Amino acid sequence: MTGRRWDLGATRRMGRVFARRSPGAPEPVDLVASGELDGALVDWAFYRDGRRDTRTSSYTEALSRARRGQGFVWIGLFQPDGRQLAVVGEEFGLHPLALEDAAEAHQRPKLEQYDDTLFAVLKTVTYVRHGDLTATSEVVASGEVMVFCGPGFVVTVRHGEHSELTGLRQRMEQHPEQLAAGPGAVLHAIADHVVDRYLEVAGAVQADIDLIESEMFTPRGWRNIDRVYQLKREVLELKRAVAPLTGPMRALSTLRHPLISDETRNYFRDVDDHLLRVKEQVISFDELLSSILQAGLAQVQVAENEDMRRIAAYVAILAVPTMVAGIYGMNFDYMPELRLKYSYFVVLALMATACTVLYRLFKRNHWL
């Protein structure tokens, strides 16, 4: 049994384990009441006709009704361990390869299909507020959300402190017509939420770039080069989240799948459009920071050249009195002007005049 990514050919895979459980089979263990998911379970609910069914008394009853096609179960987990993922995977017939990916963080954004189950990995990002950008400031923090979407169920697995889906479930419950579209609509809502955060973070990073760009072109602004390097690294973190997601999102906007209705597919196209806009913006950030960095390095070279010219000018000015003093400091008995009454003052005047002329010459040529 092997999984396939969205762009690979179809192969035979696992059957519809969750949907096909026979009515006479023994009821599953209540994972919620038994405490199997303690410490990882964020929330769960059974949805029927787009509304949270509060009359469903237990998790086991919710699964039973979902298998009969009366609605779907949505379970949210936060950093579950391998054992907890294993029991959830057994309950819903999730592929071992997908469970392995869900257990490990730092996955690349992707979309995979295992028979009638979709498995999506999305990287979440958030902007870290900071008083002043330094060489060690964290600007963009990331997390991950894995989504298992199948007939009658949605399982979300979050990794990282910045992977929150704050208020998403509550917002969807306020719009039953969205939840009525089934698990595919939940996958869309999560993708839309993640991409909207990309837009927010990109806007905040743009403000940081504008600030550092204006500072770079101030006198001695090249001293901020280390901050440009730091911001460039943070933009790379954002790029790693945004760029790989374009392929999976494009696939969801065109994928023919029982879980994704034509209407939901249209909404995925809108998310894909927003994602492309963020991707272009992030690429422009990278190019702009590279240009700022090059400008800063050019400023360093100009500053070094100015310093060298200034030093060379003063050395040339000081060379004149040094040369004269060196000549007349030689211990010869017969040297001209040594016994003249005013030779000392004449030599000082000549040295001062020569130094003044050289100073004015260097000043006029902008060496000083």
347: Cβ–Cβ under 8 A, 6 or more apart, which residues?
A: 324, 328, 337
Q: What's the distance, CA 94 to chain centroid? A: 29
**Are the C-beta atoms of 125 and 162 separated by less than 8 Å?**
yes
- Which has more confidence, 299 or 354? 354
What's the pLDDT tens digit per position in 177-225? 989 999 999 999 999 999 999 999 999 999 888 888 888 777 666 667 7
Contact 47, 70 (CB under 8 A): no
Q: For residue 72, give the H/E element and its range.
A: strand 72-78
| Separation CA 346–CA 329 (nearest Å) | 16
Is residue 30 very low, low, confident or very high in pLDDT (cuts 50, 70, 90)?
Answer: confident
Q: What would the mean pLDDT of 29-39 be, rounded to a whole number? A: 79
Q: Which one-letter amino acid corresponds to residue 362?
A: F
Domains of the chain, start order: 4-299 (3.30.460.20), 308-364 (1.20.58.340)
Q: Is residue 21's pLDDT more than 60?
A: no
Q: What are phi and psi of 256, to 5 degrees?
A: -95, 105
- pLDDT in the model for residue 307: 77
How many residues are present in the chain?
368
Q: Is the pTM of this model over 0.85?
A: no
Cα 21 from Cα 65, distance rounded (Å): 12
**In this predicted model, what pLDDT tens digit does every residue of 56-85 receive, in sequence order?**
878 888 888 888 888 999 999 999 988 999
27, pLDDT greater than 70: no
User: Lowest mean pLDDT: which of 44-53, 128-137, 317-326, 359-368?
Assistant: 128-137
Give the mean model confidence (pLDDT) for residues 27-51.
82
Please give the order of strands across the beta sheet that includes 41-48. Answer: 4-5, 110-114, 117-127, 140-150, 153-159, 72-78, 41-48, 51-52
Question: Does the structure show a pLDDT above 80 at 119?
Answer: yes
pLDDT score recorded for residue 222? 63
pLDDT bracket for residue 17 (50, 70, 90)? very low
> What confidence tier does 29 reach under pLDDT thresholds 50, 70, 90?
low
Q: What band does 164 get if pLDDT is binned at 50, 70 and 90?
A: confident
Question: Residues with Cβ < 8 Å from 365, sequence gap 6 or more?
Answer: none
Q: What is the pLDDT of residue 330?
A: 76
Q: 111 pairs with which residues across the strands?
A: 120
More confident position, 26 or 193: 193
Please answer whether residues 194 and 275 qualify as being in contact, where contact means their C-beta atoms are separated by less than 8 angstroms.
no
> pLDDT tens digit string along 279-317?
999 999 988 888 888 877 777 777 778 778 888 888 888
Distance CA 125, CA 241 (A): 8
**pLDDT score for 112:** 93
